[in-house]
Every structure is written in C-alpha cells, then in structure tokens.
Amino acid sequence: MNAPFVPPVCAEPPVKRGQREVFCGLTSIVWLHRKIQDAFFLVVGSRTCAHLIQSAAGVMIFAEPRFATAILEERDLAGLADIDEELDRAASRLLERRQDIKLLFLVASCPSEVIKIDLVRAAARLDKRLGANVRVLSYSGSGVETTFTQGEDSCLAALVPELPAEPASAAPSLLVVGALADVVEDQFARLFAELGLADVRFLPMRRAGAMPAVGPNTFVLLAQPFLAETARVLETRGAKRLDAPFPLGGEGTTLWLKAAADAFGVSSRRFEDVTAPGRARAETAVARHAPKLAGKRIFFFPDSQLEIPLARFLSRELGAQPIEVAQPYIHRGLLAEELALLPEGLRLSEGPDVETQLDRCRAERPDLTVCGLGLANPLEAEGLTTKWSIELLFTPIQGYEQAGDLAELFARPLVRRSRLEV
Ligand code: SF4
C-alpha cells in the first residue's frame, strides 16, 4: 500500500506566521441557536460583543431572539462581587419570561472585565439554583481563545459531560458530531437507515431533553473539521472516532459514509446500492459548474477551518487549482484523510501572517480568493474576485444533495465578475 501524500505545512517558500483576521467564536451562536431549538445563549461581554452578534444575526431580527448580551461595563475588583448577583438576576428574569428555554449557555468573551469573572462557577451556581427544568452551562467564545468556528467546538465540548452514559451492554451506535442544517441531518439519517445502521444520533441535538448517550460502544463521525476539543472529550467518555474526509462534495460524502459503513460491517454491495443514486445526482449537479471553475487558481485565507476540505473538493471534483490554502489551525489528526487527497504543488499554511499573505495574494492575482468579510471588500476594490468564507457556515453544503449548491457558491463570484467585465 502506498503511503498517503501529506503536503508539508508551511511549504517552501517559508510562510511567516502572525496575526490573522478572523471573527471570534461568538459568531457561531448564529447557527447554533437555530440548531438547538430550546437553548438560549447569554453572552457575557461588552457593547462590541453585542454589536457583533446583532449584526451577524441581523437577518433574524423578527424572530423571538434566543441570544442576548449581558453588557458589563469596566469596573474594579471591588465591583466583581456584584457581578455574580447581576448575572443571577439577569438569568432569573430571562427564565421567568421565557419558560421555553431548557438550556442556558453563559458565553464568555474577551474584554478584560469579563476575563475576571469565573463563568464556570457562575453556571454551576445557577444550574443548582434553577433546578431540574433548565440546565446552565458555560463556554468561551472569546476572540483570544477561539476563531469563529471554534466557538461551536467550545459549545459542543461543554455539552459532552452532560451526555448520558450508554449502558455497557449497548449495541454499537453512531454519533454524528457537528451542526448540520436540519434538512442535511434528515438526509444523512435516511442514508444511514438504508445502510442498516439502527442507532444513529446527532450532536448538537435539536432539543435539550434529547441529549444523545455516549460510551465505549459509540463510534463518532465528525461532520465538521473544527471539532478537535469535542472529539477529544468524547474520547475520554470511551467513544471511538472514525477517520474520514468530511462530507463536502460527492466524493467527500461517499468516503465519509463509507467510514461509518465499514465500522458497522455494511457490505460493499449494499453500500453501492444505497449510495449510487446520490453519487450520480451529486456528480451531475457538480458537473454543471465545472466549466466555470476548471483551471481557476484559488487562494484561501485562513478563516472557517473548512479550507482544506474545500480545496480538496474544488481540485478533485471541479478541476480548480488551489494555489495557497491557509487555515487558522491545522489539526493533522482530524485532517489526515483530507491532506492525503490534496493535490501536490499547493502552498499549505497554518496561521499565516495576514500582511505577508496579502502580499502573496496580490502577487499571485488568483482567479478567486476565499476570505473573511474584512478582507473581501478591499481585495474586490483591487480587482480581485472574492468569496466570503463565512457564507459556507450559513448555507447547507454537506451531502450529495448539496454538492451542486456548494460548487455554485464558488462559481457565482466568477460569473458575477465576468458579467461586470462585459
Ligand atoms: S468576544 Fe472579543 S473579539 Fe468577540 S466581539 Fe467580544 S470583544 Fe470582540
């Protein structure tokens, strides 16, 4: 068997590491609050934090909000004792008014006045006081500790100790980990059922009262590549993580499903029968966009942590040419199967310095630059075509039925640019 190709991180020429421009983990509240339908996210932060989540979630202004910010002003250490009382009052008022809330997350942020507060203790105190009807947990979405997708990792990792233990005699079960749009989750649930997997659960769960059990008979299949801490704590509960690429594009979805099928002893024949129609639909849908993307040079700034799986999809299914692929962090354990599928010759970098990376991007003049919101407008003004990576988290992109939409997300900016140039 050939050893898989593993491209070097920070390949020649050496890539300087340094400051990045990435939203903080609070941003993930925007998709997490849609997923866990009876949870509430109370950010303990500053006006900046309140502005960030309000503007990121601005489209949901008409919905009954399930997130808010408890704004703390600067105060000295003597004032810290009052904070506990203020927090208790704010949480109690909220829960009296909103009896639909069954899971309250206190979310830490990075202003100095918040760092002084022990939110873990505050959550434990509130949890005890508020009784059995509502669970109170805490995690950090601070920009010092988390990039915007790592906010989901912190949230899910905080849930793991709360998951019930699977009985020792339980039959093997599958736990799919990572927030997926409900429609995608339903599609995967159907495919797993057709493959004959009887017990498949999802984390995050849709309701606080439906926490999936976990134990030594649980196989964990990550649906998102940025869940290193969640995977680690699940392993401490005895679960076994399955190595697989991520379900982006037809090929990624097939290999992801195959990892689960192999763990459960599904025959090749059955796997083929169940997945063939979805594979064919994905192939047809992706092929429609291949003429627009084939041969196009693509440059990734570090942002969503999805960059490596996306580069794999764009190169192998659409014939695009990723020239630089950067992630805030590269977890080689979780990404081993993805790295093995990357084409040779690209520059892979971890946490590159934004200024020097901008210089490389300007020098390369890629056909498409995938980056955060803050970089997109200036680069567009310089005549480069960009794709906001945050959109990939707000759009259902996983699975066979979404493979065409995923390709289109990258084709659309190129089409728009070509129209503007006519
Ligand atoms: S947590 Fe930090 S980085 Fe995030 S919005 Fe608040 S102040 Fe800004």
Could you say which architecture CATH assigns to the domain 286-421?
3-Layer(aba) Sandwich (3.40)
- Ligand 1 close to Cβ of residue 46 (< 6 A): yes
Answer yes or no: are the C-beta atoms of 314 and 299 closer than 8 Å.
no
What sign has the CA pseudo-torsion 38, 166, 128, 109? negative
* Ligand 1 center–CA 102 separation, angstroms: 26
Q: Establish how many alpha carbons lie within 13 A of residue 271's alpha carbon, considering only the half-sphere containing its beta carbon.
A: 16
* Domain ranges in the chain with CATH number 3.40.50.1980: 25-146, 173-285, 286-421
- Ligand 1 close to Cβ of residue 227 (< 6 A): no
**Could you say which DSSP state residue 68 is in?**
E
CATH superfamily for 25-146 is Nitrogenase molybdenum iron protein domain (3.40.50.1980)
Closest CA to 141 of 77, 87, 67: 67
Cα–Cα–Cα angle for 351, 357, 362, nearest 5°? 160
Give the list of residues 6+ apart from residue 191 with CB closer than 8 angstroms, or none.
257, 274, 275, 278
The C-alpha atoms of residue 44 and residue 29 are separated, in whole angstroms, by: 13
* Ligand 1 center–CA 151 separation, angstroms: 12
Answer yes or no: are the C-beta atoms of 311 and 322 closer than 8 Å.
yes
Q: Is 115 left (phi over 0), alpha (psi -120 to 50) or beta?
A: alpha
* Ligand 1 center–CA 27 separation, angstroms: 9
Answer yes or no: are the C-beta atoms of 347 and 325 closer than 8 Å.
yes
Report the chain's terminal Cα–Cα distance, integer Å: 51
Count CB neighbours of 359 within 10 A. 11
Residue type, 383: G
- Ligand 1 close to Cβ of residue 151 (< 6 A): no
Q: Give the pLDDT of residue 37.
A: 94
The C-alpha atoms of residue 270 and residue 192 are separated, in whole angstroms, by: 11
Closest ligand 1 atom to residue 53 Cα is 5
Pocket test for ligand 1, best of 48, 114, 147 (most atoms within 8 A of CB): 48
Closest ligand 1 atom to residue 25 Cα is 4
Mention the CATH class of domain 173-285.
alpha beta
Give the list of residues 6+ apart from residue 145 with CB closer than 8 angstroms, or none.
25, 110, 154
Q: Give the pLDDT of residue 84.
A: 81
Q: Give the pLDDT of residue 4.
A: 40
Cα–Cα–Cα angle for 273, 278, 280, nearest 5°? 95
The C-alpha atoms of residue 380 and residue 308 are separated, in whole angstroms, by: 23
- Ligand 1 close to Cβ of residue 45 (< 6 A): yes
Answer yes or no: are the C-beta atoms of 139 and 71 closer than 8 Å.
no
Closest CA to 72 of 102, 53, 98, 46: 46
Residue type, 405: D
Peptide bond preceding 204 in cis form (omega within 30 of 0): yes
Cα–Cα–Cα angle for 280, 270, 170, nearest 5°? 125
The C-alpha atoms of residue 337 and residue 358 are separated, in whole angstroms, by: 29
Look at ligand 1, atom 3, and give the residue with the nearest C-alpha.
143
Closest ligand 1 atom to residue 111 Cα is 7
Helix runs in 58-176, H state only: 80-97, 112-115, 119-130, 150-159
- Ligand 1 close to Cβ of residue 110 (< 6 A): yes
Helix runs in 288-345, H state only: 290-293, 307-318, 332-339
**338 bridge partner residues:** none
* Ligand 1 center–CA 187 separation, angstroms: 35
For the chain, 422 residues long, the average pLDDT of each consecutive 10-residue run is 41 64 89 94 90 72 72 64 82 90 94 83 90 90 90 98 93 97 98 97 97 97 98 98 98 98 98 98 98 98 96 98 96 96 94 94 97 93 94 94 98 87 62
Listed in order, strand segments (DSSP E) in 125-210 are 135-140, 173-177, 200-203
> How many residues in total does the chain contain?
422
Q: Under DSSP, is residue 103 helix (H, G, I), strand (E, B) or coil?
A: strand
The H or E element containing residue 189 is helix 182-195
Look at ligand 1, atom 6, and give the residue with the nearest C-alpha.
49
Q: How many H helices and E strands in the chain?
A: 17, 13
What's the Cα-to-Cα distance from 94 to each of 33, 97, 138, 292, rounded to whole Å? Answer: 16, 5, 16, 50
Answer yes or no: are the C-beta atoms of 215 and 166 closer than 8 Å.
yes
Give the β-pairing of 321-327 and 240-241. unpaired
Closest ligand 1 atom to residue 141 Cα is 1
